[in-house]
Amino acid sequence: MSRGTPPGRSRAIPLRKSLLVRLLITSVLIAVCSVAATAWLAMQITTRALQEEQGQVLADDMDILRQLSAYAATHPDWSGVEKTVRTLSDKTGRRIALTASDRTAIADSAARQTALPPRAAATVDPLRTDTFTEPGAQLSGIDPRAVGPYRLTANERLRVAKLARVRHDCFARNGIDTDITRTPSGRSVLTTADGSPESGYVPDQCADGKLYTPTPTEKKALAALTKGTEACLNRHDVHLASPMALTVDLTGATMRPRFLVEKTRSEQRDTATATTNKCIDDARREQLAPYVAPVAELFLGTGDSAVPRFNLSTANKAKVVGVAGLVLALTVAVTALVATRLVRPLRALTQAAQQPPEQHVRVPVTTQDETGILALAFNELTERRERMEAQRKAMVSDIAHELRTPLTNIRGWLEVTRDGIVDPDPELFASLHEEAVLLQRVIDDLQDLAAADAGALGLHREEVRADELLEQVAAAHRVGTEAAGIRLLTRVDGTPWLDADPVRMRQALGNLVSNATRHTPSGGTITLSARSQDGQVVLEVADTGSGIAPEDLPSVFDRFWRAEKSRSRRTGGSGLGLPIVRQLVAAHGGTVTVTSDLGAGSVFTLRLPCTMEPASSAAGAD
């Protein structure tokens, strides 16, 4: 005896395997991953945005310092800087303030009495900070835009520009690409495509020595610079072996004075060079000082508080945790609600499936989603199972009835013969043989149906001519139909061919002819016809018999069904002929249908796949 769960009793599902628990765990994991991914992405985006903002702020700060340094390098004081400060403030959206070293206000984009930041952002001093040579950086040295007495006059600028154009055209004729660039002093120079000074190679026809020769203005400034440098050297007790002659590199965008010292001993030359370079820088700053604005302090921002930065404080962490918890709680609640509604019909299906089979329990269909479709399919399956069970019972009863009658006759005659009541004569043996043949026919039909149901019905296919097939069936049944007073005709349209088992097809058509013979009165007609239609071979068996009532047509191919229950098995058949026809046609990949007019006759139509005429047959016909 089985120890499994009795029918109708639900089996306990382990908690870890419960669909509801799995859905809850899945939703929680998804929610946790979603919250974590969202938080991580938000922090990454926020951090990147802050970094980009800080980078933009730094770039803006450097641009502000660069432009204010340019103003200081080209103006002797700060008297007109207010407009520049306000323009930069409007452009960058930042507060900009310039003060003297003692924090005396020079210019401020904010309202008066507005507190300054605690520290200055930078010092604006073009004589000691270079913000021009390398954009975005602060280099030590003199800003190249502070040119002072080195600024060329209008006539000098025009003459140098013409010389630069001549040199540019000469370079172009020799296949050298250059551009004309104007330096802060107003001098025009040649540069390469990347902005660097022209290369050291100069074609002979272009080396006129005119472009980079100092102008009178530059010579005058260099003479003054030389005088100031010599005074500095005298203060440092440095005496050169020959008089100093300062020159300036005019090939680039900046002017840097340089000098040559006669060869002396190495240590003396190094000391003299360092001191001389320092004196040149000091003298140059002293020379440019009247032309540039005084040193100023640059302040950016408002108030004495630091710029707020991204900070995940305790309060912010509590907010993040609270929101994450709320999301998880909502996720669990919604998932529990949805999962409960999803599991409820599944449990109803499980309970219905566990009921005894004979009860044929249905489940209510409450939704139109996948679960509702599943419940509807379950109910349809239950109905089919109930019909099949009824058919099975009826079939068992019909088989018992079909086998009982011939066996009863055979037994009865044998018993009376054994008791000497009837003498065994040829008529008795003929009767017993007829009953045995009926019994054998029922058994053979059942065997064919069983093989067809199991898919084991053997077919030996070959190319078959439809007209020959009909003639063979007609010849086999013509004696029986003529004895019953029925005409058996054949009609073929063309020469259709089909790929089929000729023996099984004769069996199927023979069953239809036999069925028509039993239901056609004397003087009637049975017609066998064949034609090709839409790539199929259509075979028809039409009779002028009693016909079939419309309500009986769906049951024609059921096993052991008879149109007239009162018919004997000798006049009404075994009830298996038409089911065998359906199974044989289905095995060939075809279909069988029936139409009928009560009292006028019936037409059984077989549709089978058509095939091409064999080449050997076509050659023989030629």
In this structure, the answer to whether residues 35 and 101 fall within a common structural domain is yes
Assess whether 493 and 597 both reside in one domain.
Answer: yes
Q: Residue 127's closest CA among 141, 148, 147, 145?
A: 141
Count of the separate structural domains present in the chain: 4
User: What is the average pLDDT across 227-233?
Assistant: 87
- The answer to whether the CB of 477 falls within 8 A of the CB of 513 is yes
544 within a domain of the structure (yes/no): yes
> What is residue 3's predicted lDDT score, i.e. its pLDDT?
43
User: For position 591, what pLDDT does the model report?
Assistant: 92
Q: Is the entire prediction scored with pTM above 0.95?
A: no
Please tell me whether residues 544 and 566 are part of one structural domain. yes
Domain identity same for 279 and 322: no
Residue 607: CATH number of its domain: 3.30.565.10
Query: Is residue 190, in this structure, part of any structural domain at all?
Result: yes
- pLDDT the model gives residue 199: 61
Distance CA 171, CA 179 (A): 10
DSSP string, 287-348: HHGGGSPPPEEEEESSSSSPPP-----HHHHHHHHHHHHHHHHHHHHHHHHHHHHHHHHHHH
Q: Is residue 262 part of a domain?
A: yes
Does one domain contain both 156 and 25?
no
Q: Both 21 and 87 in a single domain?
A: yes
Residue 164 included in any domain: yes
**Residue 584 sits in the same domain as residue 475:** yes
Position 197 pLDDT exceeds 80:
no
- Six-digit token pair at 21? 């628990």
> Is residue 368 domain-resident?
no
**Residues 474, 595: one domain?**
yes
Name the domain boundary from 426, 453, 480.
453
More confidently predicted of 437 and 268: 437
CATH number of domain containing 426: 1.10.287.130
Taking 70 as the threshold, does the pLDDT of residue 452 lie above it? Answer: no
In a domain, 592, yes or no: yes
257/273 Cα distance (integer angstroms): 13
Residues 469 and 602 in one domain: yes
Same domain, yes or no: 500 and 401 = no
- The pLDDT score that the predictor gives to residue 267 is 43
pLDDT tens profile 11-32: 555 666 666 677 777 777 777 7
Q: How far is CA 113 from each of CA 73, 78, 109, 302, 367, rounded to the nearest angstrom?
A: 29, 20, 12, 11, 74
Rounded-to-integer distance, Cα 290 and Cα 74, Å: 11
d(CA 141, CA 126): 8
Looking at residues 129-153, what average pLDDT do you find?
87
Q: Which of 147, 149, 146 has the alpha carbon at shortest distance from 73? A: 146
Q: Of 238, 267, 291, at which residue does a domain stop?
A: 291
Give the C-alpha separation, 452 to 61, whole Å: 92
pLDDT at 426 over 90: no
Average pLDDT on 121-132 reads 90
Q: Which of 595, 613, 593 is nearest to 467 (CA)?
A: 613
Percent with pLDDT over 70 in the chain: 77
With respect to residue 99, please indicate whether it lies within any of the assigned structural domains: yes
Residues 307 and 250 in one domain: no
Residue 9: the pLDDT is 46
421 shares its domain with 344? no
Using one digit for the tens of pLDDT, what is the confidence trace for 328-364?
788 777 777 777 777 777 777 777 777 787 777 788 8
* Pairwise pLDDT comparison (270 vs 164), residue with the higher score: 164
**Domain boundary residue, one of 258, 291, 324:** 291
pLDDT digits (tens, 9 = 90+) for 77-97: 999 999 999 999 888 888 899
Q: 137 lies in a domain?
A: no
pLDDT at 480: 86
- Domain range holding 327? 12-123+296-354
